[in-house]
Amino acid sequence: MTTVQTRPAAAGDRRRWQALAVCLVAGFMTLLDSSIVNVALPSMERGLGADAADVSWVVSGYALTFGLALVPAGRLGDVRGRRAAFLFGLALFTVTSVACGLAPSSGWLVVFRLLQGAASGIVAPQTTGLIQQMFQGADRARAFGMLGSVVGVSTAVGPPAGGLLIQAFGVDDGWRWVFYVNLPIGVAAFCAALRLLPRTPVAEKRREGADLMGVLLLGAGVLALMLPLVQEQQWTGRTKWTLMPVAALLLAAFWRWERRQGKRGNDPLIDLDLFSLRSFTLGVLLNLVYFGGFTTVFFIYTLYLQNGLGYGALAAGLASLPFAIGSAAGAALGGRLVVRHGRKLVVVGLAGVAVGLLAVIGTVQLLQGPGAAWAAALPLLLAGVGSGVTISPNTTLTLTRVPVRRAGAAAGILVTAQRIGSAAGIAAVGAVYFAHLANHGTSTRALQLGLLTAVGIILVALVLALADLRERQTHPEPPMGDGPAPEPAERTPSKA
């Protein structure tokens, strides 16, 4: 009797982990495309005759549409079904990847790249929402640990993967294979997702109205906020920063509109009650600040290796592998320990990243030459472990009390914070790096100042984590349970 009951449970458990693997493969592929193209930009310039503005939009356009799609796509998955939204986003991403590879001109490449970024933004919140839906308690923490590994590794492994493809297929057409490689992976992941991904439970899958005004206000606000950040190097002058107060006004109008929607009993794009959860609010803020420091490291480090030390694309990419290896190990460790240690892990991780990057700064100062990158491998490994121990537990802690019905929208907010933080960090750190390079021409010093700026941003995240840790000691929250977060009470229309 026991055997008969256990086998279906074991089969169901195995199916959940297989479904998670499909989600992680898709997530890895979409996140990889945000960094793999960096080393392929010279190949695009040569193969297509693209100018600086075109290749800039290949990078920044992807980030822009990725960020714009996240929250509406997360909400769409919550309401219409995460499985369907995931499959649509994955199919669109695969098709647009092939279109990018076939692009006959730089203009068409930019158009297809914008669509590819939007598809990536559709996939990302579904992955997190499906984890919330499929797992509970310690299993959910472990699943988020694996997701954290994917986030860290995909960012760091992009440059070496791009370098290998350029090396294999040549400088003129190697950039096309950066996109073609997504076709077999995307088709295999789509077929597996059709078979393995669970459908949204009937009780959860509600036909709620679309908040079109909320989508427009949020989209316009995020666009006005991100445009000057992603185009900081290309749009000269200070006029671009006038979009910042416009963004503030649009986002304030969005917040007020969402409050009004809630009071009227309508279903908003974002349930602002999520921000009453301390764990969610702080986790989103930590994500924003930490990604402002973390993702900038590879931006200036690969530039320094190629332009300052004369490394090729492959060698520059391989130099970042220690960070990727450390990040995978740290995220797996963090996923296992977060239930027991909570926010303490995030503090330890942030400290590890800061110490590792400071050691990189010291290494390039002592060894100002081609051997500096290999000597920096150990400090980068330490920083990678710290990054994994930061991202994975912070994701778990941020989303653990979010109601499953709101998981997609909450994930959209979390990843939007990552994208805005990354864009802002690259703008700030890039400004420091390029300003010193233009005024003094010393690439080693420019790298050191850029990394110091990144460390400063990470230390701000560390202060936030320490403040939260102290607050938890004074006013502790209940420990992480094994069940999903409770659903909020249904709204009733106002009688006013």
Q: Phi and psi (nearest 5°) for 265?
A: 85, 5
Give me the pLDDT at residue 57, please: 81
> What is the rounded distance in angstroms from the CA atom of residue 304 to the CA atom of residue 437?
10
Q: Is the pLDDT of residue 1 over 60?
A: no
> What is the rounded distance in angstroms from the CA atom of residue 265 to the CA atom of residue 263?
5
Q: Out of 71-75, 264-268, 379-383, 434-438, pick the least confident.
A: 264-268
Q: Out of 122-126, 176-180, 274-278, pick the least confident.
A: 274-278
Give me the pLDDT at residue 186, please: 95
Q: Is the pLDDT of residue 83 over 90?
A: yes
Give me the pLDDT at residue 335, please: 79
> What is the rounded distance in angstroms from the CA atom of residue 29 to the CA atom of residue 90?
10
What is the arithmetic mean of pLDDT over 405-428? 84
> What is the rounded distance in angstroms from the CA atom of residue 78 to the CA atom of residue 410?
10
Confidence tier at 101 by pLDDT (50, 70, 90): very high
Contacts of 44 (CB under 8 A, 6+ apart): 37, 50, 54, 55, 58, 106, 109, 175
* Joined tokens for residue 74: 């997360």
Q: Is the pLDDT of residue 115 over 60?
A: yes
What is the arithmetic mean of pLDDT over 132-142? 83
Give me the pLDDT at residue 495, please: 41
> What is the rounded distance in angstroms from the CA atom of residue 253 to the CA atom of residue 215?
12
pLDDT digits (tens, 9 = 90+) for 189-219: 999 999 999 876 644 545 555 678 888 888 8
pTM of whole model > 0.85? Answer: no
Give me the pLDDT at residue 10, please: 63
Query: What's the length of the chain?
Result: 496
* Joined tokens for residue 305: 């290796």
Strand stretches in 238-350, DSSP E: none
204 or 285, which is more confident: 285
182 or 236, which is more confident: 182
Give me the pLDDT at residue 494, please: 42
Give me the pLDDT at residue 482, please: 42
What is the arithmetic mean of pLDDT over 88-111? 94
Confidence tier at 8 by pLDDT (50, 70, 90): low
Give me the pLDDT at residue 490, please: 41
Contacts of 339 (CB under 8 A, 6+ apart): 137, 138, 141, 480
> What is the rounded distance in angstroms from the CA atom of residue 142 to the CA atom of residue 148?
10
472 or 347, which is more confident: 347
Give me the pLDDT at residue 200, please: 66
Give me the pLDDT at residue 201, please: 60
Give me the pLDDT at residue 315, please: 81
Nearest to 141 by CA among 397, 335, 334, 331: 335
Q: What is the dihedral of CA 288, 290, 294, 300, to 10 degrees?
A: 70
Give me the pLDDT at residue 486, please: 43
pLDDT digits (tens, 9 = 90+) for 227-268: 887 777 677 778 888 899 999 999 999 999 988 887 777 777
